[in-house]
A and B are shown apart, each in its own frame.
Chain A
Amino acid sequence: MVHRTFRGLAVLSGFALAVGLTPGLAAAQDDMVTEVGAGEGQVSILAWPGYVEDGSFSPDADWVTPFEEATGCEVSYDIFGTSDEAWTKFTAGGYDVVSASGDLSFRLFENGYVQPVNLDLIPNYADIVADLKDQPYNTFDGVHYGVPHGRGANLLMWRTDVVDPAPDSWTTVFDPDSPYAGKITAYDAAIYIADAAVVLMATRPDLGITNPYALDETQFSEAVALAKQQQSVLNEYWSDYALEMEAFRNGDSVLGTTWQVITNFLLLEDPPVQVANVKPVEGSTGWSDTWMVAAETPNINCSYMWLDHVASPPVQAAIAEWFGEAPANQKACELTANPGHCDEFHAAAGDPFWEDVWYWTTPREECLDGRTDVQCVGFDAWLDAWLEIKGG
C-alpha cells in the first residue's frame, strides 16, 4: 500500500519535472539541434490528407508502421483541407510536425511556431531535388526551417464529353458569359484569389502584376472583383477532393480547378469519368510543401526521425503516387510502382513545367516581388475578401 502510493507520487513528480523542464528544453533549442538522441516514444503529426498513412485507409498505403517499428515513435496524426485550417489547428498547439504549403510556412515562421531544422541530421536531404532547396517558403533569412516534401500544380480539368472545344486558358472559368455557367468549380480557400491574379497577369498587363501573391491595393481589388464575378458562374467551391470528384462524376461540375490526383482517380473509375486536364497558357498556382517542426516540441528526436523517414526514397515514392504529386527526393523516381510517375508529374530537377507555376506563398505587406514603393495586401485582408467573395 505504502509502496504503491510512493510509486504513484514518484510518477507524478516525474511528470511534473518533465512538464517543468519542457520550456527549458525549448529555450535551449534557440539555435539548433545538434544531434538526434533516443526517441521520446511518440510524435504527433499534422498533415495534408494522404501524407501520413498507417494502413487504416488502405492496406496498400502504410509508411507509418515501418517507422514506428524502426524508431519506437508512436505516430498520432491529424489532417486538414486547407492551409488556413492547418494554421488554426497547428497554432492551437499539441503537434510536433506539420506538412506546410508555402502559404502556411511563412506564417508559422514569422509568428515563431516552428524552429530551424539542422539539415545535417537529415541524411536523406542530400537527395532532394535542387529546385526545392533554399526556397523562400522553406528558408528564411538564410536559415532552413524544414525539409521539402513534394510539389504539384493546380490544373484546369474539364469533362471531355461536355466541354468543347477543349479549354487551354483559365479565362474560361472566369467568363461571366460562359456556356458552362453553373457548372464551374473553384478551390475553396482565400489563396484562390491568386488564381484570379494569374489570369490578370495575362489579360490585364496594365495592372503590372508580376507575382500573384504580391498584390498592391489596386491589383488586389481587381483580382477580388474578378473572383466575385466568377462566383455567379460557379457550381460550388471545393476543398474536399472527394466532393469535387463526385461533382464531376455527376456532371454538376464540368470545368474547373483540380489536382492531378483527382483526374487520375476519375479516369480509373469504372466506367471512367471522361475528364482531361491541362496547365493553362497563363501558367498556374501550385504547392510545394515542407515538413516543419514545432518550436516547442517535447518530441524533438522523434520529429527529426520522422523528417528523415518521410524524405527517404521509398516513402517519397509511396506518398508521391498515393497523393499524386512530384516527389522531392530524386531517388524516389526509381521506386515508384508506375515507372512513368516522375515524368508525368515533372519531378526532374529543372523541369521547365514549373517555370510558370506559382507555388502558394503567404501574401504579406512587404511585397514579395521586391517592390518597396508600395505596400501589398496582407493575408488577413485576403481572408476577409474571401468571405466577401463567397458571401456574394
Chain B
Amino acid sequence: MTGAEQTRPRSSLSRRLATYFYIRPRLQLGTLLAAPSAWLIVVYLGSLAIMLVTSFWSYSASTNEIDQSFTLENYVEIAQSPAMRTIILRTVVMAALVTAATVIVAFPIAYFMARVASPRTRRLLVVAVIVPLWASYVAKIYAWRLIFSEQGVLNWALEPLGLRGPGTNEIALFFVFVYLWLPYMILPVYAGLERIPGSLLEASADLGGRPGRTFLKVTLPLAMPAVIAGSIFTFSLTLGDYIAPSLITKTIFLGNVIQQKLGQAGDVPFAAAMAMVPIAIMVLYLLVARRLGAFEAL
C-alpha cells in the first residue's frame, strides 16, 4: 500500500466496473433485470411449462405410477366426459356472471372515487376497498357460510319481510364470489378512470355532447382496458377457486376437480390437463377482448 495508489481511485475494481457498465447501457439493463427475469422465467413460466408437459402423461391408479410417454388421453377424457363438460360449463358461466356483476357494482364506485369524491373522501374510499383484502380469505368464506346458513343472519333479517335467503348453494356462492373479488375490479377501474384527462370530457361537452353521450363515447371506451384488466382478475380467480365452492355448496367446480384429482386420487397428469383448461379459456377470453378493441385505447 503506497500513497500513490490511494490517490488513484479510478483504478479500483468498483470504479472500473461502473465505467464498464456505463459505456454499455444494454448490458447494464440486462444485468439489473437478470435476477427478476430469471425468477419470472424459471418460477412462473417454467412451472407452467412443466404443467403443460405433465398434462400429456398418464397415471395408472392400480400401480400408482405416472407413465411419462406422450398421450392425449387426459384431454380426450375431459372433452368426452359429460360430467367434466358440465363442470367446466358451470364454472365458466359462474365466472362470467361474477365478472359482469362485479363490473356493474364496481364501476359506479370507481367513478365516484375517481371523478366526484373530494381527495379526502377518495383516500377513505381507497382504504375502505383495500382493507377487506387484509382479512383472511378463508375466514371471510366461513363468515359467508354462517351468514347464508339456515339460522344465519340473512334469514333472520329477511324473516320479518316474509322472505328467505338462498341457502347454501350456487346462488349464495355467486354473492360470495362477487364480494371476494370486488376490490380487484374497483382498483383497476378507479385507476383507469382517474387517468382520463378532464380536458377530453370538457371538449366533448363543448362540442355539444350531453353527459350520457360523453360517458358512452368518451369515458367508457377510455375505461375499457381497465375494466378488462379487472375482469381478468375476477374471471380467472373464479375459474380457479375451489375453497369457496367446497365450503358454500355441494356442487363442484373446475378447481375442485383439480384438487380432488391431485389431492385424493394422486392423478397429477389429469389434474395438470384440467389446470390447462382455465388457462386456455383465459387466452381465448383475451383474444376476444382484443378483437373487440378493448386494448386499443391503451
Q: How many B residues are at the interface, by size bracket?
A: 20 to 34
- A179 at interface by CB-CB < 8 Å: no
- B149 at interface by CB-CB < 8 Å: yes
Are A88 and B250 in contact, CB atoms less than 8 angstroms apart? Answer: no
- B37 at interface by CB-CB < 8 Å: no
Q: How far is the CB of B221 from chain A (nearest CB, A)?
A: 40
Which residue from A88, A235, A252 sits with its C-beta under 8 Å from B264? A88
- A82 at interface by CB-CB < 8 Å: yes
Q: Which of B58-66, B276-284, B285-293 contacts A (4 or more CB under 8 A)?
A: B58-66
Are B84 and A391 in contact, CB atoms less than 8 angstroms apart? Answer: yes
- A78 at interface by CB-CB < 8 Å: no
User: Which residues, 54 to 90 on B, are CB-close (under 8 Å) to A?
Assistant: 61-64, 81, 83-84, 86-87
Are B266 and A252 in contact, CB atoms less than 8 angstroms apart? Answer: no
Are A250 and B265 in contact, CB atoms less than 8 angstroms apart? Answer: no
Majority DSSP secondary structure for residues of A touching B: helix
**Whole-angstrom CA separation of A386 from B252 in the bound complex:** 11
Given A182-B167, A250-B149, A383-B61, also A88-B266 (CB < 8 A): yes
Q: Mark B251-280, 1 if CB is under 8 A from A, else 0.
A: 110001100111111100000000000000
Are A237 and B264 in contact, CB atoms less than 8 angstroms apart? Answer: no
User: Which residues, 218 to 260 on B, are CB-close (under 8 Å) to A?
Assistant: 247, 249-252, 256-257, 260
Q: Mark A55-96, 1 if CB is under 8 A from B, else 0.
A: 000000000000000000000000000101101100100000
Highest count of chain A CB atoms <10 Å: which of B63, B149, B152: B149
Q: How many A residues are at the interface, by size bracket?
A: 20 to 34
User: Which residues, 358 to 392 on A, are CB-close (under 8 Å) to B?
Assistant: 378-380, 383, 386-388, 390-392
- A236 at interface by CB-CB < 8 Å: yes
Q: How far is the CB of B62 from chain A (nearest CB, A)?
A: 7
Are B168 and A387 in contact, CB atoms less than 8 angstroms apart? Answer: no
Are B264 and A391 in contact, CB atoms less than 8 angstroms apart? Answer: no
Are B83 and A388 in contact, CB atoms less than 8 angstroms apart? Answer: yes
Contacts of B247 in A (CB 8 A): 243
**Whole-angstrom CA separation of A237 from B250 in the bound complex:** 6
**Whole-angstrom CA separation of A255 from B249 in the bound complex:** 17
Which residue from B62, B150, B250, B266 sits with its C-beta under 8 Å from A250? B150
Are B63 and A111 in contact, CB atoms less than 8 angstroms apart? Answer: yes
Contacts of A252 in B (CB 8 A): 149-150, 167-168
User: Which residues, 233 to 252 on A, are CB-close (under 8 Å) to B?
Assistant: 234-237, 243, 246-247, 250-252
Contacts of A247 in B (CB 8 A): 149
**Whole-angstrom CA separation of A250 from B133 in the bound complex:** 28
Contacts of B84 in A (CB 8 A): 391
Contacts of B146 in A (CB 8 A): 246, 250
User: Which residues, 30 to 67 on B, are CB-close (under 8 Å) to A?
Assistant: 61-64
Are A85 and B263 in contact, CB atoms less than 8 angstroms apart? Answer: yes
Contacts of B261 in A (CB 8 A): 387
**Whole-angstrom CA separation of A183 from B81 in the bound complex:** 29
Q: Which residue of A lies closest to B251 (CB)?
A: A392
- B151 at interface by CB-CB < 8 Å: yes
- Offer 21 A-B interface pairs, CB within 8 angstroms, sorted by A: A87-B264, A88-B264, A190-B264, A235-B168, A235-B250, A246-B145, A247-B149, A250-B152, A251-B151, A252-B168, A378-B62, A379-B61, A383-B61, A383-B264, A386-B260, A390-B252, A391-B84, A391-B86, A391-B251, A391-B257, A392-B86
List residues of chain A with CB under 8 Å of any chain B CB. Answer: 82, 84-85, 87-88, 91, 107, 111, 182-183, 189-190, 231, 234-237, 243, 246-247, 250-252, 378-380, 383, 386-388, 390-392
Instruction: Other than A378-B61, A378-B62, give 17 A-B pairs with Cβ distance below 8 A.
Output: A84-B264, A85-B264, A189-B264, A243-B247, A246-B146, A250-B146, A250-B150, A251-B149, A251-B151, A252-B168, A387-B83, A387-B257, A388-B81, A390-B251, A391-B83, A391-B252, A392-B252
